[in-house]
Structure 1
Amino acid sequence: MNETRRALLDALAAGPVEGPALAQRLGVSRAAVWKQVEALREEGFSIESGEGGYRVVDVPEYGAAAIQFGLDAPYEIEYHDRIASTNDRARELAADGASDVVVVADQQTGGRGRLKRSFSSPSGGVWASPLVRPRRPPAEVPLYTLAAAVAVVRASREAGVDAAIKWPNDVLVGDSGGGDDGDGRDDDEGGEDEVDRPGARKLAGILTEMEGEADRVSWLVVGIGVNANVDVEDLPPGATSLRAEVGDVDRRVFLQRLLEVFAELTGEGADLRGVLDAWREHAATIGRRVRVETAGETIEGDAVDVRFPGSLVVRTDDGERVVHAGDCEHLRPAADR
């Protein structure tokens, strides 16, 4: 999307604005303003031209311009009806020097989760990959993954779904009791079954990729997959969707809110330590008996906290263990032992 189109969308989102004022603000002719307005109408915007100037009265359901319209976050939107992987496309953009771009798709045909596991991402979901270039060391990258999980949960709760986070980044619904069952999604964006609690249904997952040097991140892609307006029959067993929980949602509004929270938590000047407080607020893992499979061992105990930059603190019979990475299984509330 060119800069003129983005500036026009920002101006229209603020309310009615007259053509001459738009032309002056955008630094283009009135004819150029009219041309851009007509282009937006062709994309599905309903724009009236009256005494107060141009006014948007209806916005398309989804698409680059629709998501950009009224978005209070410093990102450019690149939209695809169908793409193999939003993460892969974001990586291509990173190689070309782009930044602050969110690749969005209605459907992915070749998505992947952690360890290159495949996952389902049918039409109707929210599949988005923000590409950013934070001035941070690689050691702090896990905080961006946690921030994305928080953003998904907040957007979900505003949509009426009581979601929570399983360490580090799985977003679940109904994680409130019992023994073990399959949540049907991969630790990142979904795919293969894993053991979890009955009633715990996976709504979303996150896959973060980066390139950098020892002291700084070159680029960071945070792949976010949310089962939004999707039938559960089109998802792996144990997964759920916003549609299944509360009915269809406005994906444009949902994604805008998600991106705004993510930008608030991780944007320029943000204190990343605040991400941990936000994560704790929405965590299903803290206060639970857990089993964590790491690369070299299995750790079982009570999850008592999360420590910078996102490590899980587990109290075991042999003392506290700090787990930096692993597959976490919820067993039961710690007090039930």
Structure 2
Amino acid sequence: MDTRRALLDALDDGPVSGPALADDLDVSRAAVWKAVEALREEGFAVESTPNGYVAPDDPPYTAAGIEYGLNAPYAVEFHDAVGSTNDRARELAADGASDLVVVADEQLGGRGRLDRQWTAPSGGVWASVLTRPDVPPAHAPAFTLAVAVAVTDACRELGVDAYIKWPNDVLVGDGSPVGDGRSGVSSGRASDDRARGGRKLAGILTEMEGEADQVSWLVVGPGVNANIDAEELPTGATSLREQCGADIDRRRFLQRLLERYHELTAAPDRILPAWRERTSTIGARVRVDTAAGEVHGVAVDVEFPGGLVVDTGDEHVRVHAGDCEHLRPVGNER
């Protein structure tokens, strides 16, 4: 472990003296002092006290601030602005990096699935997690499911009614199966939002490179509308600021997201059950645009590693990729 990360971990346990840390790491006291000064220059205001170095009471949203107290094995690279965190993670992957999170306050060229433009102004949580999992490429979609659960759980810890819409969106809604053809929906924007799955809070872009039987690297890029005014977002989107009525602690939110993602990917058998418990897609009437055409019916399940099972009335169709739209329940079309 490098001196910087060791210092952050030591600060998380309380005051730490420079000499003690130097002895523990078998480095010079000058190396410890340089690490302290580097943290201060980054905005992580380490305080010197008679008992040793002390972390700031309110850690900033920076690489050091995110790594401080993070219970997951990721280093962080932070940018005030970057074209795309996924693009930067791909560059780092080509250089051999792994277990790294690229974070930006603002993305200047954010993109979603199918290279669609993604609005990513200052104040959001824009991150890309680079790992090298020991799995075949066919299993990569499960990692998208895992990060969707992680985003949803981090939102719910804030009291936000977040749910997942297949394949890669986190929405705000009531989470009930809205399109099973057995229940009606009253008029009004909130009801319409629920009937169509909700308003978009976050999206996920997953990219990978690999051989026939092994992933070389995998990047999952959650983008969360956090401390952003609703007026800055596209129609149909919302933000954590709008839902909570105040700014959220982006540092702690991202930490919880990363910790939950690490927990799930360390135990892959937990991913699908957790995803099913948090989705509003299963039980909904859906229309899925696929390369082979549209699939209409009721979504009845998601199978590993992430395929949607749709009951068309004639058969069960398994969809592995496509754009999914939640439809109003039968008898409520307008």
Mark yes or no: TM-score above 0.5. yes
Query: Hey, what does 1:91 align to over in structure 2?
Result: 90
Q: CA deviation at 1:39?
A: 2.8
**1:219-298 map, 5 Å:** 219-246=217-244, 247-266=246-265, 270-298=266-294
Write the distance in 2 (CA, Å) between the matches of 1:10 and 1:137. 34
Shift of 1:38: 2.9
- Within the alignment, does 1:314 sit opposite 2:313 as a pair? no
Deviation of the 1:287 alpha carbon: 1.4
Amino acid at match of 1:223: G
Q: Higher mean Cα deviation, 300-309 or 55-64?
A: 55-64
The residue type equivalent to 2:129 in the other structure is P
RMSD: 2.5
Deviates more, 1:270-279 or 1:248-257: 270-279
Q: Deviations over 1:240-285 (max 9, x none)?
A: 000010021000000000011111111xxx3323110110111111
Taking the aligned partners of 1:160 and 1:261, their CA distance within structure 2 comes to 17
Q: CA deviation at 1:305?
A: 1.2
Q: Deviations over 1:302-322 (max 9, x none)?
A: 111111111111122102221
Partners in 2 of 1:54 and 1:76 — Cα distance? 22
Aligned partner (choices 204, 215, 218) of residue 217 of structure 1 = 215
| Residue 181 (structure 2) aligns with | none
Q: Is the 8 A contact 1:174 1:200 kept in 2?
A: yes
The one-character-per-residue Cα deviations of 1:197-224 (angstroms, maximum 9, x if unpaired) are 4682100000111111110101111111
Of all paired residues, the percent bearing the same amino acid is 66
Distance in 1 (CA, whole Å) between partners of 2:186 and 2:213 is 43
Count, aligned residues:
322
| Partner secondary structure for residue 327 of structure 2 | strand
Return the offset for 1:86.
0.5
Q: 1:154 to 1:196 in 2, by over 3 A?
A: closer
The answer on whether the counterparts of 2:197 and 2:280 sit within 8 Å (CA) in structure 1 is no
> Retained in 2: the 8 A contact 1:61–1:251?
no
| AA of the residue aligned to 2:63 | A
Residue 9 of structure 2 is matched in structure 1 by 10
Residues 1:331 and 2:330 are matched in the alignment: no
2:298 to 281, 298, 302: 302
**In structure 2, how many angstroms separate the alpha carbons of the residues matched to 1:199 and 1:217?**
32
Q: Is the 8 A contact 1:181 1:198 kept in 2?
A: no
Q: 1:220 to 1:284 in 2, by over 3 A?
A: same
Secondary structure (helix, strand or coil) at the match of 2:213 reads coil
Contact kept? 1:137, 1:217, Cα under 8 Å: yes
- What TM-score does the superposition give when structure 1 sets the normalisation length? 0.89
Q: Distance in 2 between matches of 1:38 and 1:95?
A: 31
Q: Quick check: 2:89–2:128 contact (8 Å CA) kept in 1?
A: yes
Give, in angstroms, the shift of residue 29 of structure 1.
Answer: 1.9
Report deviation, 1:325: 1.3
The Cα of 1:34 is off from its aligned counterpart by: 2.6
Contact in 1 for aligned 2:162/2:171 (Cα 8 Å)? yes
- Output the amino acid matched with 1:72: N
Give how far 1:335 is off: 11
Which amino acid counterpart does residue 303 of structure 1 have in structure 2?
A
Note closer, same or farther for the CA distance 1:212–1:334 as it changes in structure 2 (3 Å cut).
farther
SS in 2 for 1:58: coil
- Give the conservation status (yes or no) of the 8 Å contact 1:227–1:241: yes
Q: CA offset at residue 16 of structure 1?
A: 2.1
Taking structure 1 as reference, are residues 131 and 181 closer, same or farther at Cα in structure 2, changes over 3 Å only?
Answer: farther
Partners of 2:243 and 2:94 lie apart in 1 by 39
2-structure distance, mates of 1:179, 1:299 = 26
Q: Do 2:89 and 2:102's aligned partners in 1 also have CA atoms closer than 8 Å? A: yes
Query: C-alpha distance in 2, partners of 1:312/1:66?
Result: 38
Provide the residue aligned with 1:49 in structure 2: 48
Unaligned runs of 5+ in 1: 184-194
Task: Tell me, in whole angstroms, the C-alpha distance in 1 between the residues paired with 2:59 and 2:47.
Answer: 15
TM-score normalised to structure 2 length: 0.90
The change in CA–CA distance for 1:27 and 1:179 in structure 2 (over 3 A counts) is farther
Distance 1:7 1:330, change over 3 A: same
In structure 2, relative to structure 1, the CA distance for the partners of 1:328 and 1:196 (3 Å cut) is farther
Indicate if the aligned counterparts of 1:130 and 1:222 stay in contact, CA closer than 8 A.
yes
Q: How far off its partner does 1:179 sit?
A: 9.3
Distance 2:187 2:131 in 1: 37
Give the secondary structure class of the aligned counterpart of 1:130: strand
Q: How does 1:40-119 map to 2 (within 5 A)?
A: 40-119=39-118
Q: Per-residue CA shift, 1:18-70, capped at 9, x if unaligned?
A: 32221112221223323322332333334333343322242432111110101
